[in-house]
Amino acid sequence: MDARTTHALAAETLTAEGEVGIVTPQRIAFPEGIDLTCGQRLAPLEAVYETYGTLAPDQSNVILLCHALSGGAHAAGRHHPDDRKPGWWDLYIGPGKALDTNRFYIICINALASPYGTTSPLSIDPSSGQPYHLNFPPIKVTDWVELERIVLDALGIQRIYAVVGGSTGGMRAFEWAVRYPERVQKALVIAAPARSSPMVIALNHIQRQTILMGLEYGGVEGAERGLMLARMLAHISYLSEPALWSKFGRDTVPEAEFWSVTYQVESYLEYKGSTFLQRFDPFCYLYITRAMDNFDLGYTYGEGDLRRALMRVQARMRFVSFTSDWLFPPAGQQEAVEILQSLGKPADHVVIDSPWGHDSFLVERVKPQLKPVIKEFLEE
C-alpha cells in the first residue's frame, strides 16, 4: 500500500449491520490508586468502562477502544430505550460493523480526569473532603494508558488483539504500542501524531486561558462561560474551511443584532458551546488539554529521538489521516510511518480524502470511507 496516496479501498458492501442494544456501564475501584508520572499517587481511584461483544475463552479477540477528548466509555448502544442518542461511535460498533461484535470483544475505558465517572477534578479529595478542582494532580497521556492497563489487569486481560483510537484516543493507542509492545498485536491510530505540535499547544493555551480568566473574575460561573468559549474555538479546529462554507456559508440569522449573533455559523458555535457545557466540566477540560500538550513519544521513550522510541514497537500498525484535518494533518502521521517502515516495522498510512476536517473520524457523511479501512485492518 502506498503510504503517500489516498487509500483506494473500495467501499465494499459490509455485512448486515446491527445494534448492540442496551448496555450497562461498569465501575471498578482501586483503593490503592496509581502512581502518576508527576510523582504523586492518586488514591483512591475509580474507573468506568463499557464492553460490547463476547470475550473469547482464550482472550484472543480483545479490542481496546480509546475515546477522544470529550468522549467517554459510552461508545455504543444506549443506556435506556428512550435515550436520544447512542454512544459516540455507535456507527462503527456492533454486529457486522467495522468493530464487529460478532467477532470482537470491545472495551472502552473512561479516561482519567474525564467527567464521566472516572476519578477526575470533580472527585472528592480525601485530604480536604471537597472536590479536587485545581488541586487535582497533573496528568499525562501515559497516565491515561496506565489507568487502562490496571483496568485490563484487574479483568485478567493480558493480551490486546488491537488498540484503536482517534484524536486523543489515537495518542493513547500509539502510546500503548510503544509502552507495552508485548501486549499489543495491532494498533490503529486515527487522526493523531506522535507528538502535539506548537499549533495544538497554542490553541489549547488560548482555550485554557478563557477558562482560567473566567474562574478568576467570575468564579465557577465565569469558568463555565470560559468553557463555552473554549469549545467554540476547539470546534472550529475540528472542522475545515470547505466544511464551514458547505454548512453555513455567509447565511445570516433572522432579526440579527449588530453585537450579537448575526451569522448562522455564530449561532451554531453558540449552540455547540452551550450544549457542551451541559455535559462537560471546565476543570476537567483544563487537565485533559494540558495532557494533550505534553504528549511526545520521542521525548518520553527515546530521550527526544522518535526513531529510538519507535524501535520498541512490535504491533502491526495502521495510521489514518484526513486531507482537510489541519489540527492533526497527515504529515504528522507520515513522519511516524516512515520511521517505522525504515525500521522494518509493519506500518502503513491511509489518507482519506474528506472535507470534514478533524471530525471526519466521528461520522461517515456521504459514503463509507473509514469503515472499510478499519474493518479490513482488524479482520485481515
DSSP character string of 229-246: HHHHHHHHHHS-HHHHHH
pLDDT tier for residue 215 given thresholds of 50, 70 and 90: very high
| Residue 92 grid cell | 462503527
The single residue of 67, 74, 349, 358 carrying the catalytic annotation is 358
Q: Is 319 helix (H, G, I), strand (E, B) or coil?
A: strand
Of 240, 257, 288, the residue at which a domain comes to its end is 288
CATH number at residue 209: 1.10.1740.110
Rounded Cα distance, 222 and 87, in Å = 30
Expressed in angstroms, the distance from the first to the final Cα of the chain is 14
Of 246, 261, 288, the residue at which a domain comes to its end is 288
Q: HSE on the CB side for 251, CA within 13 Å?
A: 12
Question: Between residues 6 and 159, which one has the greater pLDDT?
Answer: 159
Q: Which position has the grid cell 468502562?
A: 49
Q: Is pLDDT above 90 for 336?
A: yes
Of 264, 288, 312, the residue at which a domain comes to its end is 288
On whether both 205 and 126 belong to a single domain, the answer is no
210 lies in which domain range?
Answer: 201-288
Q: Is 45 helix (H, G, I), strand (E, B) or coil?
A: strand
Rounded Cα distance, 323 and 164, in Å = 20
On whether both 91 and 184 belong to a single domain, the answer is yes
Rounded Cα distance, 184 and 248, in Å = 43
Query: What tens digit of pLDDT does each residue of 52-84 get?
Result: 999 999 999 999 999 999 999 999 999 999 999
With contact defined as beta carbons under 8 Å apart, do 213 and 329 qualify? no
DSSP-H helix ranges across 280-359 = 282-293, 297-302, 306-310, 330-342
Q: Please state the φ and ψ torsions of residue 93, each to the nearest 5 degrees.
A: -120, 125
pLDDT tier for residue 364 given thresholds of 50, 70 and 90: confident
DSSP per position, 256-296: --TTS--BHHHHHHHHHHHHHHHH--HHHHHHHHHHHHT-B
The single residue of 293, 296, 325, 359 carrying the catalytic annotation is 325
Q: Is 360 a catalytic residue?
A: no
On whether both 181 and 57 belong to a single domain, the answer is yes
On whether both 119 and 154 belong to a single domain, the answer is yes
Q: Is 82 a catalytic residue?
A: no
CATH number at residue 72: 3.40.50.1820
| CB neighbour class for 295 (10 Å; exposed up to 12, middle 13-18, buried from 19) | buried
On whether both 169 and 309 belong to a single domain, the answer is yes
Cis ω for the linkage preceding 254 (within 30 of 0): no
Q: Cα 131 from chain centroid?
A: 25
Residue 10 lies in a domain: no
Q: Which position has the grid cell 479501498?
A: 9
In angstroms, how far apart are the furthest CA atoms of the chain?
A: 65
Model's pTM, two decimal places? 0.94
Identity of the residue numbered 174: F
Q: What is the structure's pLDDT at 107?
A: 98
Q: Is pLDDT above 90 for 141?
A: yes
Query: What tens digit of pLDDT does each residue of 94-121 get?
Result: 999 999 999 999 999 999 999 999 999 9
Q: Which of 196, 206, 207 is nearest to 141 (CA)?
A: 196
On whether both 124 and 180 belong to a single domain, the answer is yes
On whether both 142 and 223 belong to a single domain, the answer is no
Rounded Cα distance, 45 and 28, in Å = 9
pLDDT tier for residue 15 given thresholds of 50, 70 and 90: very low
Rounded Cα distance, 6 and 178, in Å = 26
On whether both 253 and 124 belong to a single domain, the answer is no
42: enclosing H helix or E strand:
strand 41-42
The single residue of 123, 167, 321, 324 carrying the catalytic annotation is 167
On whether both 151 and 54 belong to a single domain, the answer is yes
Q: Cα 264 from chain centroid?
A: 28
Q: Is 235 a catalytic residue?
A: no
Q: What is the total count of domains within the chain?
A: 2
Q: Is pLDDT above 70 for 148?
A: yes
pLDDT tier for residue 255 given thresholds of 50, 70 and 90: confident
